Chains A and B, each alone.
Chain A
Amino acid sequence: MRTDNIQYRIGKSKGFKILTFVLAFACMIPLAAILFFIIKAGITRINFHFLVNIPRPVGEKGGGIANALLGSVIIIALASFIAIPIGILAGVYLSENKKGRLAYWCRLSVDILQGIPSIVIGIIAYFWLVKPLGGFSAFSGSVALAIMMLPVIVRSTEETLKMLPPSLKEAAFALGMPFHRVIFKVIIPVGISGILSGVMLSIARITGETAPLLFTAFGNPYLSADVTAPMQSLPLLIFNYATSPYNDWHDLAWGASLILLIWVLFLNVFTKLISARWKVQL
């Protein structure tokens, strides 16, 4: 190290500390701007009428986002229904088999799945489901979202179960419990908090996804609960209405954005509370 003047060195150190502070907190400016703007533009739109009505055609004031809310709930519920069992089973498999060829390839697959751009998953769901079934459907959207949920659930299940003390399982085996009962009655109940936070995190992640739904659920201006037909979802509605040239529709999209933001934040806070309550490390 150079033998500069000590005052200069201390000054330099302080200077960099201040620079780090400024840069670190500068990233909060765009975040605050986004939150502030969405809340300001969306809050006036939201009322009971907004939540229970479907969008009106261009030119008419009012209208709501009931079709998108219902669609989002159905699509996400169906996606969770598909992804959660497979994800947890695969996570258990990985935590039980630390070595082995299949486990290696499975782990690699999870890493790959995590990195796939969401638009590519939309293409895949289009070719696997939309084309063979002959039309856009909410179900194909759910499958696309389920594929996006899988890596998060598998990872969190594996990481949680790996951290459990082996003595727990050994004790259960010593009592003569068969393997599947050890998993279902001992391992999963003990690790449920970590698994649950992973599931919540994955739901939070797919709630705002638009790209995989563009060619699958496609969107629908009317209220529909038919999973074999096109269905609207919140992010799709925001995308379609935000890029439209009509001011009424922009207003609708602002209201929908605020609802979506609240929904996603709620899921994130809930995940945090779960992991804080049981001291899970995600």
Chain B
Amino acid sequence: METSLQAPVIPSPAVKDTVSIRKRIRRSFRQIRMESVFKQTLAIAGLLLVILVLGILLTLITQSIPSIRLLGLKFIWGSTWNPVKDVYGAFPFLLGTLLTSFLALVICIPFSVAIAIFLGEYYPTGWFADVLKNAVELIAAVPSVIYGFWGLAVLVPMVRALEARFGVDQPLGVGIFSASLILSVMIIPYAASLGRQMIRMVPEHLKEAAYGLGATRWEVIRHVVLPGTKSGLFAGILLSLGRALGETMAVTMVIGNSSILPKNLFAPGNTMASVIANEFTEADKTVYLSALIELGLALFLVTVIINIIGKKIIDRFTNE
């Protein structure tokens, strides 16, 4: 945006008073100076954000160097985590994170897609849709610690009863399955709202053409709407996945916090985020702390990559 580079006020012949002319000139120059100072301030604010992100990345890398140097690749594949004996294998946490996130995603996808189709295609407006839309926003608004508390008080006993019925030995209730259930509720809104926007963007004439050929409502959705919004829905699911991977509090409260490799879906476990939340303030050794930060670095990189891919897909989609 080209902005006005104001010329200093040229004294008109009508103005006789030289003092006032000088004053006006000085004022104009001050304004011009202010203008460039202001522009620099804006640029500095922008630069600050870039520095912030670089600083975060750098801090994570430098702080996890001791663990990277000492543990190397063993860190990823080692399946025992015993800080007392200085054994740091993060595989149980990687597995825990992947299991909870993907299980949550599998549970949430049908619901998210249904909400997206409902609000995008069947009922885009009306009080009926408003109720559902507000409910979805409410799901996103409830703080994660409240989900965790509710999960601990209500969901965990239910899962425990379920486990007892299915004959799982040691029905605890807390574990990967409970964490996935809570997560699946929490991540519904992200895929649903994005999917809804994408479905709304499908051109009306395409749908009308399909109706004109005698297609039923379902056939239009199946063969026109969904193929057109495939990449948008995929991006929404990616964003949901990013949320699920980084979610900390609710998972920490219901997953059981066990550093042993989980044997089945009902076993207690730990995710990368939950182990950081639990052990960060207890880490008294440099390697221990550094190992936890390395987990944070891994979490950071994975969520950033997932989010950027998701954003790129959305950008391409909306620009078409």
Contacts and interface: CB of A to CB of B under 8 A. Distances in A.
Interface of A: 1, 9-10, 12-13, 15-17, 19-28, 30-31, 33-35, 37-38, 41, 86, 89-90, 92-94, 96-98, 102-103, 105-106, 108-124, 126-128, 147, 150, 154, 169, 173, 176-180, 182-183, 204, 207-211, 214-215, 218, 235, 238-239, 242-243, 250, 253-254, 257, 260-261, 264-265, 268
B50 A183 contact: no
A133 to B, nearest CB: 15
B213 A109 contact: no
Given A27-B111, A115-B242, A110 B146 contact: no
B84 interface: no
The CB with the most chain A CB atoms within 10 A, among B43, B45, B223, is that of B45
Interface string B150-185: 101110000000000000000000000000000001
B157 to A, nearest CB: 12
A1 B47 contact: no
Contacts of A126: 280
Given A25-B132, A89-B42, A109-B53, A265 B273 contact: no
Nearest to B51: A109
Interface string B279-300: 0110000000000010010011
Given A90-B46, A112-B53, A264 B143 contact: yes
A176 B9 CA distance: 10
What 4 pairs between A and B have smallest CB-CB spacing? Answer: A208-B143, A117-B246, A115-B307, A23-B114
B231 to A, nearest CB: 18
B110 interface: yes
8 contacts: A109-B50, A112-B308, A119-B296, A120-B296, A120-B300, A178-B34, A239-B249, A253-B149
Contacts of B4: 173, 176-179
Nearest to B45: A89
B300 A117 contact: yes
Interface stretch (B11-19, B69-77, B134-142): B134-142
Contacts of B31: 178
Interface stretch (B88-96, B115-123, B201-209, B260-268): B115-123
B106 interface: no
A214 B114 contact: no
Interface of B: 1, 3-4, 6, 31-32, 34-35, 38-39, 41-43, 45-50, 52-53, 55-56, 59-60, 63, 110-111, 114-115, 117-119, 122, 132, 135-139, 141-150, 152-154, 185, 188, 213-219, 221, 223, 242, 245-249, 253, 273, 276-277, 280-281, 293, 296, 299-300, 303-304, 306-308, 311
Given A113-B52, A173-B3, A238 B145 contact: yes
Nearest to A92: B42
B146 A128 contact: no
Nearest to B280: A215
B213 A1 contact: yes
Contacts of A38: 146, 150
B149 A106 contact: no
Nearest to B47: A102
Nearest to A239: B145
Contacts of B60: 120, 123-124
B268 to A, nearest CB: 14
Contact of A34 (B38, B53, B147): B147
B13 to A, nearest CB: 20
B296 to A, nearest CB: 5
Nearest to A211: B248
A273 to B, nearest CB: 13
Contacts of A96: 1, 42
A150 B96 CA distance: 30
Given A30-B185, A92-B42, A215 B110 contact: no
A215 B63 CA distance: 16
A112 B304 contact: yes
A12 B218 contact: yes
A268 B141 contact: yes
B274 to A, nearest CB: 9
Contacts of B273: 117, 119, 211
B35 A265 contact: no
B132 A28 contact: yes
B118 A20 contact: yes
B56 A116 contact: yes
A69 to B, nearest CB: 15
